[in-house]
């Protein structure tokens, strides 16, 4: 299996579930569960790789505060077997924290976030040796990585010059700049993995084919657009887009971390030499396990269990209408 460098957002998620309506101002609203997890795209994926059983092939680079929350993140990552030697612990900032509210009636969520340490991330945090030892470079959490968001194009250009396979996932842009931040990055990306909602804000359209056309004009090659309950749209350069549906007959408990789990499964298969369609099907199975558990990663199972699950709960190929 090829080596994967994971770069990006790590934080603490405080998850409350269920929260199916807004409480009145000044009131107290009861819920069944409030739990603390490691969060952030890069941290979630790192743990997912380890839970799949392929953690020896990944390393994580992130920027945390040197505070109780940051130390909680590092401890949890290490407990799962994540290589954290490239994590930056910064005493000048607070660790990024999000508070996530799960609406179980619609299987969706909303959140509030204090970005602090994420906004302190910069290119200088990433040692050259970290990249040189890897075959795949996966940046995840772009749009919320402060200065690095604007250094990312030059960074990926360096990676391409070194012969690396480059992958990018994004996060919600709290500054609302969207395409301004990412446009110069896209020509250096081998695989772009945003969500449908993120694409709506980046492109200004709700039509997936138009989204793909806009990204193509800006130099994007292969894309996987995560489309929630509809599955994912695969758009490989020069080929007709199609849908990989979600795995069949899955009971949804918690959708937090589903997108990161999908990316993890997809990249695991790609790192094993599988084609993108087959990789996306494995990604769908990892995501299906994720949403059956509570929090961002507790539902993720071993690779062997996931492959067996996919046989009984197929992720089918469908045309994009």
pLDDT tens string 21-75: 888 899 998 999 999 989 999 999 999 999 999 999 999 999 999 999 999 999 9
Residues 182, 171 contacting (CB under 8 angstroms): no
| pLDDT at site 291 | 85
Q: Is the pLDDT of residue 251 over 90?
A: no
pLDDT, mean of residues 259-269: 96
Residues 178, 195 contacting (CB under 8 angstroms): no
Q: Is the pLDDT of residue 256 over 90?
A: no
| pLDDT at site 292 | 85
What is the pLDDT confidence band of residue 162, given thresholds at 50, 70 and 90?
Answer: very high
Which pTM was predicted?
Answer: 0.93
Q: Which of 108, 151, 105, 172 is nearest to 7 (CA)?
A: 151
Q: Is the pLDDT of residue 104 over 90?
A: no
Q: Sign of dihedral through CA atoms 181, 186, 188, 190? A: positive
| pLDDT at site 100 | 87
- Mean residue pLDDT across the chain: 94
pLDDT, mean of residues 237-253: 91
Q: What are phi and psi of 107, to 5 degrees?
A: 50, 50
Q: Which of 223, 249, 260 is nearest to 238 (CA)?
A: 223
Q: In the chain, what percentage of residues exceed pLDDT 70? A: 100
pLDDT, mean of residues 9-15: 94
Interior angle at CA 162, CA 6 and CA 120, nearest 5: 40
| pLDDT at site 22 | 82
What is the pLDDT confidence band of residue 208, given thresholds at 50, 70 and 90?
Answer: very high
**Residues contacting 319, CB < 8 A, separation 6+:** 240, 242, 243
Q: What does the alpha-carbon distance between residue 258 and residue 271 come to, in Å, rounded to a whole number?
A: 20
| pLDDT at site 249 | 85
What is the pLDDT confidence band of residue 296, given thresholds at 50, 70 and 90?
Answer: confident
Tally of CA atoms within 13 A in the half-sphere of 280 that contains its CB: 26
Q: Is the pLDDT of residue 255 over 80?
A: no
CATH 3.30.420.40 fits 4-24+32-319, yes or no: no
């Amino acid at each position: 299996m090829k080596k994967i460098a994971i770069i990006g957002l790590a934080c603490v998620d405080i998850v409350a579930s269920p929260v199916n309506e807004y409480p009145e101002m000044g009131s107290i609203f009861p819920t069944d569960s409030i739990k603390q997890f490691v969060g952030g795209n890069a941290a979630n994926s790192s743990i997912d790789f380890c839970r799949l059983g392929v953690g020896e092939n990944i390393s994580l680079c992130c920027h945390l505060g040197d505070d109780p929350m940051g130390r909680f993140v590092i401890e949890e990552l290490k407990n799962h077997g994540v290589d954290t030697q490239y994590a930056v612990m910064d005493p000048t900032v607070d660790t990024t924290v999000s508070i996530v509210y799960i609406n179980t009636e619609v299987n969706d969520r909303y959140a509030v976030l204090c970005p602090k340490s994420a906004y302190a991330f910069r290119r200088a945090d990433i040692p050259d040796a970290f990249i040189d030892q890897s075959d795949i470079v996966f940046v995840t959490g772009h749009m919320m990585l402060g200065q690095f968001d604007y250094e990312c194009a030059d960074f990926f250009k360096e990676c391409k010059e070194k012969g690396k396979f480059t992958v990018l996932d994004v996060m919600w842009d709290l500054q609302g700049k969207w395409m301004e931040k990412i446009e110069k990055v896209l020509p250096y990306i081998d695989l772009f993995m945003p969500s449908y909602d993120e694409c709506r804000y980046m492109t200004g359209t709700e039509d997936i084919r138009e989204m793909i056309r806009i990204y193509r004009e800006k130099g994007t090659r292969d894309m996987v657009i995560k489309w929630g309950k509809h599955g994912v749209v695969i758009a490989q350069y020069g080929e007709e887009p199609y849908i990989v549906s979600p795995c069949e007959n899955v009971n949804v408990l918690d959708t937090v971390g589903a997108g990161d789990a999908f990316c993890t499964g997809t990249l695991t298969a790609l790192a094993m030499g599988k084609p993108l369609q087959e990789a996306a099907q494995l990604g769908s199975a990892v995501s299906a396990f994720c949403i059956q558990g509570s929090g961002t990663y507790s539902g993720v199972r071993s690779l062997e269990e996931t492959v067996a699950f996919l046989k009984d709960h197929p992720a089918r190929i469908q045309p994009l209408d």
